[in-house]
């Protein structure tokens, strides 16, 4: 049965991750803007634009990320106390940012790798520009 969930309004929401409560599913706040119809699959996208499909399940008039949630948590090294911000980008896609205990965004290995590659490319470009200017 497909139901319209018109009470979802807020585009962004956050959760504090606790293994005891969120290991296998994550409750979506009732005021959060999720997908308009259920059942659906939502997409969670991290800082490196990597995607994870998670089931969006309604149970007792509450919405949850369920099947696929644990894989997302494991692959993004989410631990107790991490602060997770969800931004509904539309079409059941959520951009997800994860913050550490020190309130800084979590440094995920593939994100650091891409940032380092971009920095190296920028440094190489600067070296080329300097050499060309010297000629």
| Each residue's pLDDT tens digit, 105-118 | 987 665 545 555 55
**For residue 61, is it left (φ>0), alpha (ψ between -120 and 50) or beta?**
left
Domain ranges across the chain: 3-107
Contact between 72 and 54 under an 8 Å Cβ cutoff? The reply is yes
Q: What is the pLDDT of residues 48-93, one digit of tens each?
A: 899 999 999 888 989 999 999 999 999 999 999 999 999 999 888 9
pLDDT for res 66: 95
CA angle at residue 36 from 94 to 32, to 5 degrees?
55
- Say which DSSP state 105 is in: B
CATH assignment of 3-107, among 3.50.50.60, 2.40.330.10, 3.40.630.30, 1.20.1730.10: 2.40.330.10
Query: What's the pLDDT at 55?
Result: 94
**Helix/strand/coil (H/E/C) assignment for every residue in the chain:** CCEECCCCCECEEEEECCHHHHCCCEEECCCECCCCEECEEEEEECCCCCEEEEEEEEECCEEEECCCHHHHHHHCCCCCCCEEEEEEEECCEEEEEEECCCCCECCCHHHHHHHHHHHHHHHHHHHHHHHHHHC
């Amino acid at each position: 049965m497909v139901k319209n969930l018109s009470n979802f309004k807020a585009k962004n929401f956050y959760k504090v991750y606790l293994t005891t409560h969120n290991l296998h599913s994550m409750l979506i706040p009732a005021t959060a803007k999720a997908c308009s119809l259920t059942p659906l699959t939502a997409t969670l996208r991290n800082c490196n634009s990597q995607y994870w499909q998670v089931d969006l399940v309604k149970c007792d008039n509450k919405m949850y990320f369920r099947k696929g949630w644990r894989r997302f948590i494991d692959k993004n090294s989410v631990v107790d106390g991490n602060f997770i911000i969800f931004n509904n980008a539309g079409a059941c896609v959520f951009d997800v940012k994860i913050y550490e205990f020190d309130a800084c965004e979590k440094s995920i290995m593939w994100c650091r790798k891409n940032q380092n590659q971009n920095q190296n490319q920028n440094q190489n470009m600067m070296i080329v520009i300097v050499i060309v200017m010297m000629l």
